A and B are shown apart, each in its own frame.
Chain A
Amino acid sequence: MINNTDAVRLLDRKRKGAIIVPTMNAGNVRFGLPSVTTNEKLDLPLSGAMGKASSLGLGIALAQPQRKVMVLDGDGSLLMNLGSLVTIANKGPKNLYHFVFDNGAYCVTGGQPVPGADKDDWAGMAKSAGFPATFFFDNIEDLTTGIDEVLQTEGPVFVHLKVAPEIENTPVQFRQRGRRTVQQAFKDVATAVAGR
């Protein structure tokens, strides 16, 4: 099992100018990408919107084909938007890397189990949807040694990460909020990549 913060820290260190779209645990202000990022202007954290991080990432990847886009998805999130695997594979963006942080739980709502946890085969689903390359890691050592190969593989690439859940029970209105508003995050990325 991989620690959530260790995973986002490693992916951030390997980003080399990639845009990162994290959601749920991977985008958490206290222990997700915002807590370790080295390039906030290229981070586009997405909360809510019912599992659309993969779709948002696809749009960016199509608009910016010369730049890598890393989506840090949740398992519960992707279950809400499973069709996006087919949508992504159909368009086939070579610069899209879709990581799923599989922690088996709806962590932001108190840790209820995700349907199919420990039964579903994420990499198998992605492969069946048409992803040309899939990877699986369940410990930080293998991820550390394997991440370069992942990011050198032509996309779209799907990466299943078995991650320890970080469960939040604090009511939403009392949780720590991000330093930037969502509008500011979109402005920052648009300015950085499209000069707007």
Chain B
Amino acid sequence: MATEHYESVLHPPAIVAELKKNKVSHVVWLPDSETNFMYQLLNSEPTMDLVPVCREGETMAIAAGLWVGGKKPVVLIQNTGIFESGDSIRGLGLDINQPLVMLVGYRGWSRHGLTTDSAARFIEHILHAWGINYYLIETDEDAPRITLAMEEAQRTQKPVAVLVGTEFGA
């Protein structure tokens, strides 16, 4: 029996359009394997400032400073970076009621077979443990979920994650 194959493609312009629609001012980030096309686009986007960091735990703290200073940042990191950032998410996300949207590369995840990468297997459990809600995006059609996440973060005054479940297309 033939298996129907759907190609999931998520293009950076769809993400950037959502960020612009939500008037995001800064993208605080550390690259992952899935974001090179995104980097090229963000780097040429005049309405948003890129803030590159050396380690992911810096991102929530920098975002907290931007937020308290009146800006609207998002964080863009990989799921492995969420693990590294535990105490920053606790102290400078949850404890201070920061309405922060974290775009998180869902490294290792696939809906087309076994998910063997522990980075993928653990991430949703970790978010559940912290009580952080999340949305999954895999295609351009899913991109408006970023707006849902931004609205939820503002409404609840809590961090919200958006798991990027596919590689960005060129």
Contacts and interface: CB of A to CB of B under 8 A. Distances in A.
A189 B88 CA distance: 19
A129 to B, nearest CB: 10
A28 interface: no
B145 to A, nearest CB: 26
B58 A81 contact: yes
Contacts of B87: 48-50
A98 B90 CA distance: 24
Contacts of B55: 81, 83
B98 to A, nearest CB: 8
A87 B53 contact: yes
B92 A52 contact: yes
Which of B28, B58, B69 counts the most chain A CB atoms within 10 A? B69
A63 B69 contact: yes
A59 B53 contact: no
Interface in B16-73: 26, 28, 49, 51-55, 57-58, 60-71, 73
B91 interface: yes
B88 A60 contact: no
B66 A63 contact: yes
Contacts of A186: 64, 68, 96-97
A42 to B, nearest CB: 11
B54 A55 contact: no
Contacts of B68: 44, 59-60, 63, 186, 189-190, 193-194
A84 B67 CA distance: 18
Which of A52, A60, A183, A196 counts the most chain B CB atoms within 10 A? A52
Contacts of A90: 52
Contacts, number: 110
Which of A49, A50, A182 counts the most chain B CB atoms within 10 A? A49
A23 to B, nearest CB: 11
Interface in A111-149: none
A52 B65 CA distance: 11
A62 interface: yes
A55 B61 contact: yes
Interface string A152-196: 000000000000000000000000000000110010011001111
A150 interface: no
Given A83-B54, A83-B58, A87-B52, A55 B97 contact: no
A91 B90 CA distance: 25
A139 to B, nearest CB: 32
23 contacts: A48-B87, A50-B87, A50-B88, A50-B91, A52-B88, A52-B91, A55-B58, A55-B65, A59-B63, A59-B66, A59-B67, A60-B68, A62-B49, A63-B66, A63-B71, A64-B70, A84-B53, A87-B51, A87-B52, A87-B62, A90-B52, A182-B95, A183-B95
Interface of A: 44, 46, 48-50, 52, 55-64, 81, 83-84, 86-87, 90-91, 182-183, 186, 189-190, 193-196
